[in-house]
Amino acid sequence: MDIQEYFSLVFTDYTLRTITLGTAILGAVTGMLGSFAVLRKQSLLGDAISHAALPGIAISFLITGAKDSNTLLLGALVSGLIGTFWIRGIITKTHLKSDTALGLILSLFFGFGMLLLTFIQKQPNANQAGLDKYLFGQAATLVESDVWMMAIVTGICLFVLLLFWKEFKILLFDKEYAKTLGFNTKAIDILITSFIVLAIVLGLQTVGVVLMSAMLLAPAAAARQWTNSLATMVFLAAIFGAFSGVFGTAISASQNNLSTGPVIVLVAAVFVLFSFIFSPSRGLLFKQIRFIKNRRDLELHKTLAFMYHIAESHDNISHPHEIKILNGFQGYTKGTLKKLVEKNYVTLKGSTWSLTHEGFKSALNLYNQLTKNDE
């Protein structure tokens, strides 16, 4: 199946439609919430939460023996929340920095989860197969009820976001100030963190424990490059996330043996890369172009000013001078001289140059502008 075929089938084929919808919704909700994680400088929180969810899946299976995703993800939610609040506890109660706390909880919970998974796999029970899909995710196992679940959570999340928009914003920007205004910052904090945990847990089945944090961070990091408004950033992150989901699914469905989760993450990474390079205000490309252009302009102005100084001492401003005398001037290049000729500021004759009236005037203006700026 090629990509074209995929897009013609996506509206009719049940499996494709389910997976595409699921990954799109997942990408949207994680992108949205990821913006908050990124702006709070808690980028690694997502990674810690997703890893912390693993033992919950295993324990949930051991207790109930069930394999349906909702039961297992409930376990993931519980252990994800426990991990998160332990991280908070470690940060507030000890002197450890947040990266240490995150790393500690991440590896501790993940190690415990792996231990349980191995234990389960050794059990003489045919039912255990498939738990390891939560490690790397398996979008193909999504069914309609999973998608409904995602849609409902996303809807609630959107509602809460709109309702407490002002509170979230002030918490993100200036927590202590928010506190002096009388907002219960702890409650807002818990609310937003809980939603982040919820979104991550929802994605475990599709993208898996290991790669889940990329879903949270990549769309948000890409979105930040394009805007200076929080609302636009959250909206763009949701769009990027959703498109990563759709394109990722399309690519993996059109090729054999391409696992959906990793492809989605790679598509999201392409969004990030593209944004880092091509964003007009923050992108590397335009920054470099602006830098070079600025430098050129300065070189040009400096050379012109130098010429002006020389011409000034003569009665006739267009009196010809040897090009050689420019060589001693830092910032003069053949290129700048050519540019000046093109602009009709300077005329060349043999090995001499002379300033035109236009060039003299523009150099004078430059001078007045500079002295004005100094005031």
By CB under 8 A, name the binding residues for other proteins. 39, 41, 163-167, 169-170, 172-174, 176-183, 224, 227-230, 232-233
Give 349's strand partners.
352
Least CB distance to other proteins at residue 227 (A): 6
Residues sharing a CB contact under 8 Å with residue 190, sequence separation 6 or more, in sequence order: none
Q: Looking at beta carbons only, is 173 or 291 nearer to other proteins?
A: 173
- For 110-143, b where at least 16 C-beta lie within 10 A, e where not — what string? bebbbebbeebeeeeeeebeebebbbebbbeebb
Q: Looking at beta carbons only, is 237 or 242 nearer to other proteins?
A: 237
How far is C-alpha 160 from the geometric centre of its chain's CA atoms?
23
3-state secondary structure (DSSP) of residue 88:
helix
3-state secondary structure (DSSP) of residue 184:
coil
Least CB distance to other proteins at residue 225 (A): 11
Residue pair 84/64 in contact (Cβ under 8 Å)? The answer is no
Q: Looking at beta carbons only, is 230 or 305 nearer to other proteins?
A: 230
First-to-final CA distance of the chain = 69
Q: Looking at beta carbons only, is 227 or 259 nearer to other proteins?
A: 227
Q: Looking at beta carbons only, is 208 or 241 nearer to other proteins?
A: 241
Least CB distance to other proteins at residue 232 (A): 8
**Could you tell me how many helices (H) and strands (E) the chain has, helices first?**
17, 3
Q: Looking at beta carbons only, is 178 or 207 nearer to other proteins?
A: 178
Q: Looking at beta carbons only, is 17 or 175 nearer to other proteins?
A: 175
3-state secondary structure (DSSP) of residue 124:
coil
Q: Looking at beta carbons only, is 39 or 201 nearer to other proteins?
A: 39
Least CB distance to other proteins at residue 235 (A): 12
Cα R_g (the chain), whole angstroms: 30
DSSP 8-class letter at 53: T
Residue pair 31/240 in contact (Cβ under 8 Å)? The answer is yes
Least CB distance to other proteins at residue 47 (A): 21
Least CB distance to other proteins at residue 279 (A): 13
Q: Looking at beta carbons only, is 143 or 160 nearer to other proteins?
A: 160
Residue pair 23/203 in contact (Cβ under 8 Å)? The answer is no
- Going through 14-159 in order, the beta strands assigned E by DSSP cover none
Q: Which pair of tokens denotes residue 246?
A: 């759709």
Least CB distance to other proteins at residue 5 (A): 40
Phi, psi of 347, deg, nearest 5: -115, 145
Q: Looking at beta carbons only, is 283 or 320 nearer to other proteins?
A: 283
Least CB distance to other proteins at residue 191 (A): 12
CA distances from 167 to 60, 84, 89 (A): 35, 21, 23
Q: Which of 100, 78, 73 is nearest to 87 (CA)?
A: 100
- Going through the chain in order, the beta strands assigned E by DSSP cover 321-322, 346-349, 352-355
Residue pair 200/53 in contact (Cβ under 8 Å)? The answer is yes
